[in-house]
Amino acid sequence: MDQTMPHSPQPTSSPGATILANPLANKGTAFTRSERSELGLDGLLPPAVETLDEQVARAYEAFRGYDKPLNRHIYLRQLQDTNEVLFHRLVTDHLEELLPVVYTPTVGEACQRFSEIYRRPRGLFLTWEDRHRFGEILRNRPHRDQDVDVIVVTDGQRILGLGDQGVGGMGIPIGKLSLYTAIGGIHPARTLPVLLDVGTDNEELLDNPRYLGRRARRLTGAEYDEMVEAFVSAVETELPGSLLQWEDFATAHARPILTRYRDRLLTFNDDIQGTAAVALGALSTAADVAGTPLSEQRLVLLGAGSAAIGVADMIRTAMIEEGLTEAEAAAHFWIVDVNGLLVRSRTDLTEEQRVYAREDSEVTDWASTSLAEVVRRVAPTALIGLSTAHGAFTEEIVRQMASACARPVIFPLSNPTSHAEADPADLTRWTDGRALIATGSPFPPLTVDGREVPVAQSNNVYVFPAIGLAVTASQATRVTDRMLVAAAHAVAQCAVRSADGADGPVPLLPPLSGMPEAAREIALAAALAAVEDQVAPKASEDALREAIAAAQWTPRYEV
């Protein structure tokens, strides 16, 4: 007698179950009766049929039911993995409230606890061992039948102000790309988050038995460069024309990578250029409010990393466009790092930092080159922080600045909130309400003269989604400085227009709730600059407006 057991049948999914497992095809309870019958969904869903609006209301109630920001973040990520249309519609409808949960500051904690809260794969993880197969791996991407409009890549080394998070850095590309969609209208199937896992030097992660990343020290030197080059080459071959955004790379790598590749493919670094463009937009509005032209501002920057130098470079470029020479524009900056003011005798400066180094003769009679002494000696009109040094803008420093400036511009831009150089409420109190403030992370509204005033958040969402939309619509082949400066000026113009006819002070930045609409104007400005720079085909303003509208995806169910 044959005792051989029959083969167990291989598990297969029904067509309906397959649809429900696809977050871009899944409508959940919004599938109609006829759709359920035609697609094999009968019995797989509760009987009720909801509209998208009803689903959004229910999802919003569920979101509000979680009291901890991280739990809210996890809920949103699970919703994104289940139903992309519903997720993006929810984010769009409640953008201002959900932005701090989808992205900074909550995304920082999500990165720190990535291995703990990991649920479902999204994007691509590339390792050193697979460097010769990156092209093949790019073909494994989700939605490989679609072209990719935007790639966001990180190596996880400098996540916000939290340092090396290794594989946990993947939370940043995922969060960024969800905003490319919610604000810029980039179709979610045409976005790709990428983590270059080059290892980690974070001892806690290396010692954590649940860490999901490559359990090795970070690659350095030639090996690191080889891996980045392998990735770029694979993108050039497999995804030519995609916008490649570099995100949260350490200072030692961020600028060299941007310099190496910016003239080779369509790419930019959001920490260097996006941060800079938003800061320039806020500064432009503040300069108008204060009555001091941009070209007459005296700027003290705390921090000399890639983001800070990027901000200085962008403002300097705008000053040059206003008629200053390169040397005249550079002379408007005093940059301070952990070792004090950048001066020419210092041997630890990079080429980019040295542009802003002051002559040693300027400081020979100074008591020190600390931030406090620089502010006392220079009497700046603007003080910008990108240092991650919490509380560095002390009461003494701020009061000193305010004593010599009627409308001091103070931007504590470090992320997350715990690393901000000052609290806006303190800045308002120390300057008797005269300070013009923008922050890097969200803060509660201020009370000035009995009026509640929102704190402008110098968030990169004002620029990077619009840049993605601009290059997609205009078919640009490069991202130029002129495009970013044009975007910055458009941000300032949107801020002024948002306050037209309203009581109270002019906001330094547009309201976040209106960003999907503002993104179209910012994208248009960048697209026009791309045409002027001859990195995009010739097109009229009307044609570009039409292309921008056509390129935007709206979160709604297909009938």
CATH of the domain at 229: 3.40.50.10380
CA 317 remoteness from chain centre: 21
Domain assignment present for 146: yes
Q: Are residues 345 and 360 in the same domain?
A: yes
- The position carrying tokens 């303190």 is 426
- CA gap 509, 455 in Å, rounded: 9
Could you give the dihedral angle defined by the CA atoms of residues 225, 125, 462 and 68, in that order, rounded to the nearest 10 degrees?
-130
- Domain boundary among the residues 458, 483, 514 is at 458
Q: Which of the residues are catalytic? A: 103, 176
459 is in an annotated binding site: yes
Q: Are residues 216 and 331 in the same domain?
A: no
Q: Are residues 187 and 309 in the same domain?
A: no
263 is in an annotated binding site: no
Phi, psi of 382 (to 5 degrees): -140, 135
Domain assignment present for 556: no
Cα–Cα distances in Å, from 135 out to 232, 234, 456, 508? 10, 5, 42, 44
Q: Are residues 360 and 434 in the same domain?
A: yes
Burial 228-241 (b: 16+ CB within 10 A, else e): bebbbebbbebbeb
Domain that holds residue 214: 120-265
CATH of the domain at 49: 1.20.1370.30
Q: Are residues 364 and 492 in the same domain?
A: no
Domain assignment present for 558: no
CATH of the domain at 449: 3.40.50.720
- CA gap 168, 109 in Å, rounded: 10
Q: Are residues 546 and 436 in the same domain?
A: no
Domain assignment present for 113: no
- Domain boundary among the residues 436, 458, 480 is at 458
pLDDT in tens, the chain (559 residues): 455 555 556 666 789 999 999 999 999 999 999 999 999 999 999 999 999 999 999 999 999 999 999 999 999 999 999 999 999 999 999 999 999 999 988 999 999 999 999 999 999 999 999 999 999 999 999 999 999 999 999 999 998 878 999 999 999 999 999 999 999 999 999 999 999 999 999 999 999 999 999 999 999 999 999 999 999 999 999 999 999 999 999 989 999 999 999 999 999 999 999 999 999 999 999 999 999 999 999 999 999 998 999 999 999 999 999 999 999 999 999 999 999 999 999 999 999 999 999 999 999 999 999 999 999 999 999 999 999 999 999 999 999 999 999 999 999 999 888 899 999 999 999 999 999 999 998 899 988 777 888 899 998 999 999 999 999 999 999 999 999 999 999 999 999 888 765 566 778 999 988 899 999 999 999 999 999 999 999 999 999 999 999 999 999 998 7
247 is in an annotated binding site: yes
Beta carbons of 373 and 366 less than 8 angstroms apart: yes
Domain assignment present for 452: yes
147 is in an annotated binding site: no
- CA gap 516, 527 in Å, rounded: 16
Q: Are residues 258 and 352 in the same domain?
A: no
Domain assignment present for 427: yes
415 is in an annotated binding site: yes
- CA gap 207, 94 in Å, rounded: 39
- CA gap 196, 125 in Å, rounded: 6
Burial of 268 (0-12, 13-18, 19+ CB in 10 A): buried
Structure tokens at 329: 């524009």
Helices 95-102 and 171-182, packing angle to 10 deg: 160
Q: Are residues 393 and 298 in the same domain?
A: yes
For the chain, the domain total comes to 4
- Domain boundary among the residues 45, 66, 101 is at 101
Q: Are residues 156 and 61 in the same domain?
A: no
**SS3 for 456?**
strand
Domain assignment present for 200: yes
- CA gap 141, 124 in Å, rounded: 7
Q: Are residues 332 and 200 in the same domain?
A: no
Domain assignment present for 236: yes
248 is in an annotated binding site: yes
- CA gap 401, 13 in Å, rounded: 67
Q: Are residues 254 and 335 in the same domain?
A: no
Could you give the dihedral angle defined by the CA atoms of residues 420, 422, 427 and 429, in that order, rounded to the nearest 10 degrees?
120
Q: Are residues 232 and 342 in the same domain?
A: no
